[in-house]
Structure 1
Amino acid sequence: MNIQCEVPACNVPEKEIRAVLKNHTTVAVVGISHKPERDSHKVAAYLLGAGYRMVPVHPLQKEILGQTVYPDLAAVPFPIEIVNIFRRPDMVEPIVDQAIAVNARVVWMQVGVVNNKAARKAEAAGLRVIMNRCIKTEHMKMVAQAMSG
Protein backbone atom coordinates (compact mmCIF):
# COMPACT_ATOMS: atom_id res chain seq x y z
CA MET A 1 0.00 0.00 0.00
CA ASN A 2 1.38 3.39 -0.99
CA ILE A 3 0.52 6.09 1.53
CA GLN A 4 0.96 9.66 0.34
CA CYS A 5 2.27 12.18 2.85
CA GLU A 6 0.34 15.41 2.90
CA VAL A 7 1.98 18.80 3.19
CA PRO A 8 0.96 20.52 6.44
CA ALA A 9 -1.78 23.06 5.68
CA CYS A 10 -0.66 24.97 8.75
CA ASN A 11 1.90 24.76 11.52
CA VAL A 12 2.60 26.89 14.55
CA PRO A 13 5.51 29.37 14.29
CA GLU A 14 8.93 28.59 15.82
CA LYS A 15 8.26 30.92 18.75
CA GLU A 16 5.10 28.99 19.61
CA ILE A 17 6.93 25.64 19.38
CA ARG A 18 9.40 26.93 21.99
CA ALA A 19 6.50 28.04 24.20
CA VAL A 20 4.91 24.59 23.91
CA LEU A 21 8.17 22.92 24.93
CA LYS A 22 8.71 25.32 27.86
CA ASN A 23 5.16 25.36 29.20
CA HIS A 24 4.09 21.72 28.86
CA THR A 25 5.96 18.93 30.62
CA THR A 26 3.78 15.82 30.31
CA VAL A 27 4.19 14.13 26.93
CA ALA A 28 2.33 11.00 25.87
CA VAL A 29 4.30 9.15 23.18
CA VAL A 30 1.70 7.28 21.13
CA GLY A 31 3.14 4.44 19.08
CA ILE A 32 6.31 4.12 21.16
CA SER A 33 8.42 1.06 20.39
CA HIS A 34 10.09 -1.14 22.97
CA LYS A 35 13.00 -1.51 20.53
CA PRO A 36 15.88 0.87 21.42
CA GLU A 37 16.89 1.34 17.76
CA ARG A 38 13.51 2.86 16.82
CA ASP A 39 13.10 6.63 16.64
CA SER A 40 10.08 6.60 18.96
CA HIS A 41 12.15 4.89 21.66
CA LYS A 42 15.08 7.28 21.19
CA VAL A 43 12.82 10.34 21.34
CA ALA A 44 11.06 9.03 24.46
CA ALA A 45 14.41 8.39 26.17
CA TYR A 46 15.53 11.90 25.25
CA LEU A 47 12.35 13.43 26.69
CA LEU A 48 12.91 11.57 29.97
CA GLY A 49 16.50 12.78 30.11
CA ALA A 50 15.39 16.35 29.39
CA GLY A 51 13.09 16.32 32.42
CA TYR A 52 9.74 15.71 30.77
CA ARG A 53 7.18 13.30 32.20
CA MET A 54 7.12 10.83 29.32
CA VAL A 55 4.03 8.64 29.14
CA PRO A 56 4.39 5.63 26.83
CA VAL A 57 1.21 4.63 24.96
CA HIS A 58 1.12 1.25 23.22
CA PRO A 59 -1.59 -1.41 23.42
CA LEU A 60 0.77 -4.40 23.59
CA GLN A 61 3.50 -3.30 26.01
CA LYS A 62 3.55 -3.08 29.83
CA GLU A 63 6.75 -1.15 30.54
CA ILE A 64 9.18 0.85 28.40
CA LEU A 65 12.16 2.85 29.68
CA GLY A 66 11.09 2.03 33.24
CA GLN A 67 7.70 3.71 32.72
CA THR A 68 4.25 2.14 32.89
CA VAL A 69 2.79 1.82 29.40
CA TYR A 70 -0.87 2.65 28.84
CA PRO A 71 -2.94 1.01 26.07
CA ASP A 72 -4.46 4.33 24.96
CA LEU A 73 -4.78 7.95 26.07
CA ALA A 74 -8.05 7.32 27.93
CA ALA A 75 -6.27 4.86 30.25
CA VAL A 76 -3.74 7.45 31.48
CA PRO A 77 -4.85 8.40 35.04
CA PHE A 78 -3.42 11.94 35.02
CA PRO A 79 -3.54 14.96 32.67
CA ILE A 80 -1.61 14.83 29.41
CA GLU A 81 -0.39 18.06 27.87
CA ILE A 82 1.32 16.99 24.63
CA VAL A 83 0.28 13.99 22.55
CA ASN A 84 3.33 13.07 20.47
CA ILE A 85 2.27 10.77 17.61
CA PHE A 86 4.48 8.09 16.04
CA ARG A 87 1.82 6.47 13.84
CA ARG A 88 1.04 6.44 10.14
CA PRO A 89 -0.90 9.49 8.94
CA ASP A 90 -4.00 7.40 8.24
CA MET A 91 -4.06 6.32 11.91
CA VAL A 92 -3.86 9.83 13.39
CA GLU A 93 -7.51 10.85 13.47
CA PRO A 94 -8.64 8.41 16.22
CA ILE A 95 -5.63 9.50 18.29
CA VAL A 96 -6.63 13.15 17.86
CA ASP A 97 -10.15 12.22 18.96
CA GLN A 98 -8.66 10.70 22.12
CA ALA A 99 -6.43 13.75 22.66
CA ILE A 100 -9.50 15.98 22.50
CA ALA A 101 -11.41 13.67 24.87
CA VAL A 102 -8.66 13.77 27.53
CA ASN A 103 -8.26 17.56 27.21
CA ALA A 104 -4.69 17.50 25.93
CA ARG A 105 -3.28 20.91 25.01
CA VAL A 106 -1.11 19.98 22.00
CA VAL A 107 -1.10 17.37 19.23
CA TRP A 108 2.43 16.86 17.90
CA MET A 109 2.87 14.69 14.79
CA GLN A 110 6.42 13.50 14.27
CA VAL A 111 8.47 13.87 11.07
CA GLY A 112 6.62 12.25 8.17
CA VAL A 113 3.28 12.37 9.98
CA VAL A 114 0.79 14.84 8.50
CA ASN A 115 -2.99 14.61 8.61
CA ASN A 116 -4.64 17.94 7.81
CA LYS A 117 -8.17 16.69 8.52
CA ALA A 118 -7.16 15.55 12.01
CA ALA A 119 -5.24 18.81 12.51
CA ARG A 120 -8.33 20.88 11.67
CA LYS A 121 -10.37 18.81 14.11
CA ALA A 122 -7.79 19.34 16.88
CA GLU A 123 -7.56 23.08 16.20
CA ALA A 124 -11.37 23.39 16.22
CA ALA A 125 -11.30 21.81 19.69
CA GLY A 126 -8.73 24.37 20.88
CA LEU A 127 -5.56 22.28 20.68
CA ARG A 128 -2.32 23.53 19.19
CA VAL A 129 -1.10 21.38 16.32
CA ILE A 130 2.48 20.75 15.23
CA MET A 131 3.03 18.46 12.23
CA ASN A 132 5.99 16.89 10.48
CA ARG A 133 8.42 18.05 13.19
CA CYS A 134 10.54 16.08 15.65
CA ILE A 135 9.96 17.07 19.27
CA LYS A 136 13.53 16.00 20.18
CA THR A 137 15.07 18.10 17.39
CA GLU A 138 12.94 21.12 18.31
CA HIS A 139 13.89 20.79 21.99
CA MET A 140 17.58 20.50 21.11
CA LYS A 141 17.30 23.68 18.97
CA MET A 142 15.61 25.50 21.85
CA VAL A 143 18.34 24.45 24.30
CA ALA A 144 21.08 25.47 21.85
CA GLN A 145 19.46 28.88 21.31
CA ALA A 146 19.16 29.43 25.06
CA MET A 147 22.83 28.57 25.56
CA SER A 148 24.01 30.85 22.73
CA GLY A 149 21.96 33.86 23.56
Structure 2
Amino acid sequence: MKNPSDQRIKEVLHTKKRIAVVGLSDNPNRTSYMVSEAMQRAGYTIIPVNPNADTVLGEKSYPSIKEIDVDVDMVNIFRRSEFLPELAKDTVEAGIDVFWSQLGVVNEEAYEYLQDNGVETIMDCCIKVEHAKFK
Protein backbone atom coordinates (compact mmCIF):
# COMPACT_ATOMS: atom_id res chain seq x y z
CA MET A 1 0.00 0.00 0.00
CA LYS A 2 1.33 3.41 -0.98
CA ASN A 3 -0.39 6.74 -0.38
CA PRO A 4 -0.24 9.57 -2.94
CA SER A 5 2.40 12.26 -2.58
CA ASP A 6 1.89 15.17 -0.19
CA GLN A 7 1.33 17.41 -3.21
CA ARG A 8 -1.45 15.13 -4.49
CA ILE A 9 -3.07 14.92 -1.02
CA LYS A 10 -3.04 18.73 -0.94
CA GLU A 11 -4.78 18.81 -4.36
CA VAL A 12 -7.40 16.32 -3.16
CA LEU A 13 -8.11 18.44 -0.07
CA HIS A 14 -8.41 21.60 -2.18
CA THR A 15 -10.77 20.09 -4.76
CA LYS A 16 -12.86 17.43 -2.98
CA LYS A 17 -15.23 19.38 -0.75
CA ARG A 18 -18.16 16.97 -0.22
CA ILE A 19 -17.13 14.19 2.13
CA ALA A 20 -19.23 11.16 3.05
CA VAL A 21 -18.01 10.16 6.51
CA VAL A 22 -18.60 6.47 7.20
CA GLY A 23 -18.85 5.69 10.90
CA LEU A 24 -19.51 9.31 11.87
CA SER A 25 -20.74 9.17 15.46
CA ASP A 26 -23.36 11.58 16.78
CA ASN A 27 -21.39 11.63 20.06
CA PRO A 28 -19.36 14.89 20.27
CA ASN A 29 -16.68 13.07 22.33
CA ARG A 30 -15.81 10.63 19.53
CA THR A 31 -12.89 11.26 17.18
CA SER A 32 -15.07 10.90 14.08
CA TYR A 33 -17.33 13.70 15.31
CA MET A 34 -14.46 16.03 16.27
CA VAL A 35 -12.59 15.52 12.99
CA SER A 36 -15.74 15.93 10.89
CA GLU A 37 -16.81 19.02 12.82
CA ALA A 38 -13.38 20.58 12.19
CA MET A 39 -13.62 19.78 8.47
CA GLN A 40 -17.15 21.24 8.39
CA ARG A 41 -15.88 24.44 10.02
CA ALA A 42 -13.11 24.54 7.40
CA GLY A 43 -15.75 24.72 4.64
CA TYR A 44 -16.30 21.08 3.70
CA THR A 45 -19.77 19.60 3.34
CA ILE A 46 -20.08 16.56 5.59
CA ILE A 47 -22.45 13.76 4.60
CA PRO A 48 -22.84 11.44 7.61
CA VAL A 49 -23.07 7.68 7.05
CA ASN A 50 -24.46 6.25 10.27
CA PRO A 51 -27.42 3.82 10.26
CA ASN A 52 -28.20 4.66 13.90
CA ALA A 53 -28.64 8.44 13.57
CA ASP A 54 -31.09 10.63 11.64
CA THR A 55 -28.75 13.61 11.62
CA VAL A 56 -25.18 14.33 12.66
CA LEU A 57 -23.60 17.80 12.70
CA GLY A 58 -26.89 19.20 11.39
CA GLU A 59 -26.76 17.05 8.23
CA LYS A 60 -29.04 14.20 7.14
CA SER A 61 -27.43 10.86 7.92
CA TYR A 62 -27.53 7.92 5.51
CA PRO A 63 -27.52 4.23 6.48
CA SER A 64 -24.84 3.31 3.90
CA ILE A 65 -22.71 4.68 1.06
CA LYS A 66 -25.08 3.02 -1.42
CA GLU A 67 -28.06 4.99 -0.12
CA ILE A 68 -26.55 8.47 -0.44
CA ASP A 69 -28.63 10.47 -2.94
CA VAL A 70 -26.42 13.57 -3.22
CA ASP A 71 -23.09 14.13 -4.97
CA VAL A 72 -20.03 13.00 -3.01
CA ASP A 73 -16.39 13.82 -3.80
CA MET A 74 -14.76 11.38 -1.37
CA VAL A 75 -15.43 8.96 1.44
CA ASN A 76 -13.65 9.20 4.78
CA ILE A 77 -13.76 5.99 6.79
CA PHE A 78 -13.97 5.74 10.58
CA ARG A 79 -14.57 1.99 10.75
CA ARG A 80 -12.23 -0.88 11.61
CA SER A 81 -9.91 -2.25 8.94
CA GLU A 82 -11.90 -5.46 8.42
CA PHE A 83 -14.83 -3.40 7.05
CA LEU A 84 -12.75 -1.77 4.29
CA PRO A 85 -13.26 -4.40 1.53
CA GLU A 86 -17.05 -4.02 1.70
CA LEU A 87 -16.80 -0.22 1.93
CA ALA A 88 -14.39 -0.20 -1.03
CA LYS A 89 -16.96 -2.08 -3.13
CA ASP A 90 -19.72 0.34 -2.07
CA THR A 91 -17.46 3.29 -3.00
CA VAL A 92 -16.75 1.90 -6.47
CA GLU A 93 -20.44 1.10 -7.06
CA ALA A 94 -21.39 4.64 -6.00
CA GLY A 95 -18.89 6.13 -8.47
CA ILE A 96 -16.92 7.99 -5.78
CA ASP A 97 -13.31 8.47 -6.86
CA VAL A 98 -11.47 9.14 -3.58
CA PHE A 99 -11.35 6.72 -0.63
CA TRP A 100 -9.69 7.91 2.59
CA SER A 101 -9.33 5.84 5.76
CA GLN A 102 -8.31 7.30 9.08
CA LEU A 103 -5.18 6.67 11.15
CA GLY A 104 -4.65 2.98 11.89
CA VAL A 105 -7.24 1.85 9.32
CA VAL A 106 -5.57 -0.21 6.56
CA ASN A 107 -6.59 -3.20 4.46
CA GLU A 108 -4.48 -4.50 1.55
CA GLU A 109 -7.39 -6.33 -0.11
CA ALA A 110 -9.45 -3.13 -0.14
CA TYR A 111 -6.46 -1.11 -1.37
CA GLU A 112 -5.85 -3.48 -4.32
CA TYR A 113 -9.55 -3.49 -5.23
CA LEU A 114 -9.71 0.31 -5.17
CA GLN A 115 -6.54 0.60 -7.27
CA ASP A 116 -7.90 -1.91 -9.80
CA ASN A 117 -11.05 0.23 -10.08
CA GLY A 118 -9.33 3.60 -10.49
CA VAL A 119 -10.19 5.01 -7.05
CA GLU A 120 -7.58 7.28 -5.50
CA THR A 121 -6.78 5.74 -2.12
CA ILE A 122 -5.35 7.25 1.05
CA MET A 123 -5.10 4.96 4.08
CA ASP A 124 -3.83 5.25 7.65
CA CYS A 125 -3.93 9.03 7.50
CA CYS A 126 -5.93 11.64 9.45
CA ILE A 127 -7.74 14.03 7.12
CA LYS A 128 -7.78 16.77 9.78
CA VAL A 129 -4.01 16.56 10.29
CA GLU A 130 -3.39 16.61 6.53
CA HIS A 131 -5.76 19.54 6.08
CA ALA A 132 -3.93 21.51 8.79
CA LYS A 133 -0.62 20.94 6.94
CA PHE A 134 -1.92 22.37 3.67
CA LYS A 135 -4.16 25.28 4.68
TM-score range, shorter chain: over 0.9
| 1:21 correspondence with 2:10 | no
Q: Which residue, 126, 130, 141 being the options, matches 2:118?
A: 126
1:11 to partner: Cα distance: 1.0
> Which TM-score applies when normalising by structure 2?
0.97
> Where does residue 106 of structure 1 map in the other structure?
98
> Where does residue 78 of structure 1 map in the other structure?
70
> Which TM-score applies when normalising by structure 1?
0.88
Extract structure 1 runs of 4+ deviating beyond 6 A: none
CA distance in 2, matches of 1:139, 1:71: 27
Equivalences for 1:1-149 in 2 at 5 Å? 9-143=1-135
The Cα offsets for residues 17-64 of structure 1, whole Å up to 9 and x where unpaired, read as: 001101111100000111111110001101110111110001111011
1:82 to partner: Cα distance: 0.8
Contact 1:79 1:102 in 2 (8 A): no
SS in 2 for 1:98: helix
SS in 2 for 1:32: coil
* AA of the residue aligned to 1:43: V
1:10 to partner: Cα distance: 1.2
* AA of the residue aligned to 2:60: T
Runs (5+) with no aligned partner, structure 1? 1-8, 144-149
Runs (5+) with no aligned partner, structure 2? none
SS in 2 for 1:108: strand
CA distance in 1, matches of 2:42, 2:123: 21
1:109 to partner: Cα distance: 0.6
CA distance in 2, matches of 1:114, 1:68: 28
Structure number, greater radius of gyration: 1
CA distance in 2, matches of 1:79, 1:122: 19
CA RMSD across the alignment:
0.7
CA distance in 2, matches of 1:102, 1:13: 25
1:81 to partner: Cα distance: 1.2
CA distance in 2, matches of 1:71, 1:79: 16
Identity %: 34
